[in-house]
Structure 1
Amino acid sequence: MPVTFVAYIDESGDTGLNRVKPDSPDGATEWLILSAFLVSSANDSNLVSWVKDVQEGIKSKRRDLHFNKLLPFKKSMVCAALAQKDARCFSVMSNKQNIERYKNKNLGEEKAWLYWWLTRLLLERVTDFCERLTPIKQRGQDKLRIVFSRRGGLTYENFKSYLELLRYQSVNGKLRLKAGDIKWSMIDLNEVLVMDHHHRAGLQLSDVIAGAFYEAVERNRGDIEHCEPAYAKQLEPLVAKSAKNNALGYGIKTMPNLWKMDLQDQQKAIFEHFGYSPRGWKSG
């Protein structure tokens, strides 16, 4: 079956839950950001040149692009250039303070359950976007290729098994959480791949997306104490919107819901930029 879209998936932050910042200064990251950089298959062959484009004017000894290793002015240059490309991006942003020390009983001893759960939320939105752009007569034939950036501690065959379970539950009306579902017409398990960051240009661009949204909300990043939303704001042209033209809840999905979070003003800035009402925040 033909592949018509390719989604490159990378993350920023970690999955640690035993001790979470900021209450534990030396604990795991407060946020885990999972991002997808989506292109048509026609543009997939252009991504090597796109990486060169977004790095134009940046002098670097590195052969691959790593957002968190760039100086601030270079991050801004990269995001501004990437925002001009014919692509879309999606980010699921999990604030882990509310799930500190939580264990998912439904996934047994699978230590990567949080990563896979966020991937499900990500794919619900990516596949919906792809299906909307797929002619009705082609649905079920045209497919999405999913390419993960290789990450230590993850067993990708387990993710395929997770997808198979979700598809079984979906077909049989047994989804445990019925708020959303993957558009299964776009999924081919043979098109779920894992590759190294430096071997795939698309993964380097998804790294930019994840890194920009991570810096927009994560405090205490080493010597940097404050959030920096400027880079994520620059990526606004890329952020996917729902059929109702909403970015929040679609191109940007938060866990838990924003009104349940007790965020600092600096963390709220990126969400208000994308349309969240200041009146919606948790009071007190």
Structure 2
Amino acid sequence: MTHHLPAGKAAAGPYAVDVGPETAGWGHSALRVLELPPGGSHTFETGESEWIVLPLAGSCTVTVTDDFGRHAFELAGRADIFSAVSDFAYAPRDARTSVASAAGGRFALTGARCTRRLPARYGPASSVPVELRGTGSCSRQVNNFGAAGVFECDKLIAVEVLTPGGNWSSFPPHKHDEHRPGEESVLEEIYYFEFAAHDGVPGLGYQRVSPSGPGRETDVLAEVRDGDVVLIPDGWHGPSMAVPGHHMYYLNVMAGPEAERAWLICDHPDHAWIRDTWPGQPVDPRLPLYTAPETSV
């Protein structure tokens, strides 16, 4: 398996990124990035997977048709991923879903094979918990729109992470590739990257994944840029490093075979101590880049 997919490498049909169980060689996680021109639309069958449609840039209408009827959701979206939290829509398995955008835009479809069919739903931006994780040079922002315990899915877990330029994210390195009840869950993970440009110069970063044991030997040290994808079937992942002057964004998509939908991780024993230093340092003052909007009365 090729674990680092530079921009364009995972493109297929209408999608700038199309990664799923068949192409990744695993069982559950999927990500598609759909780019629509003004007035454009795209329809797909959800099949045996559940999906969250998340605007990366732009607004859209998501229409889901299933055995229970037709459901239409207007997503206000956002200008870009560095400016605001976005609303989103959930499409269950065994449904037909259409995404249409009057002004055009870029939309992430985060997916996971599942067994339960849950109802189609709208997720308002105001309901997305914005978490500040770590301190000092490990400070980052996590938009927990599809986190376990935040939004109900059968298997899918999805979050956005924003790392200020010069900071280290996904640190200490951690893994979730063994079934250890209450301690660690098996989750396949996809990282999708975008970067803030500076004076028209594109940004970049670096991603590390290292082997975690026999049979779990994923090994990646990659320079990552806009539109790149890193696949993590196993292994210690982190750090994700943002070069100075360029904020880094990545979208995490996770799913696995566990009966319980939970993000249970194990820190690398050589670096776990770094968490103990966080209480003595301030959070990077550049964070949060933004917060979720307040619920309108």
TM range (shorter): under 0.3
TM-score by length of 2: 0.26
Higher relative contact order (CA closer than 8 Å, sequence separation 6+): 1
TM-score by length of 1: 0.27
Q: Name the structure with the higher strand share.
A: 2
Q: Name the structure with the higher helix share.
A: 1
